[in-house]
Chain A
Amino acid sequence: DTGVSQDPRHKITKRGQNVTFRCDPISEHNRLYWYRQTLGQGPEFLTYFQNEAQLEKSRLLSDRFSAERPKGSFSTLEIQRTEQGDSAMYLCASSSPETRGEQYFGPGTRLTVT
Chain B
Amino acid sequence: KQEVTQIPAALSVPEGENLVLNCSFTDSAIYNLQWFRQDPGKGLTSLLLIQSSQREQTSGRLNASLDKSSGRSTLYIAASQPGDSATYLCAVGVVKAAGNKLTFGGGTRVLVKP
In the complex, are the beta carbons of B98 and A50 less than 8 A apart?
yes
Contact-residue size bin, chain A (C-beta under 8 Å from the other chain): 20 to 34
Of A45, A103, A108, which contacts B46 at CB under 8 A? A103
How many B residues touch A, CB cutoff 8 Å? Answer: 30
Q: Using Cβ atoms and an 8 Å threshold, which residues of chain A touch B103?
A: 45
CB of A103 within 8 A of CB of B100, answer: yes
B13 at the binding interface (Cβ < 8 Å)? no
- The answer to whether A106 and B43 touch (CB under 8 A), given A31-B98, A95-B100, is yes
Judge whether A55 and B99 touch: CB under 8 Å. yes
Please state if A42 and B98 are interface contacts (CB–CB under 8 Å): no
Taken together as a complex, chains A and B put the C-alpha atoms of A4 and B45 apart, in Å, by: 11
Are B43 and A107 interface neighbours, CB within 8 A? yes
Q: Is A105 an interface residue (CB 8 A)?
A: yes
Binding site for A on B (CB under 8 A): 4, 6, 31-32, 34, 36, 41-46, 49, 51, 89, 91, 93, 95-107
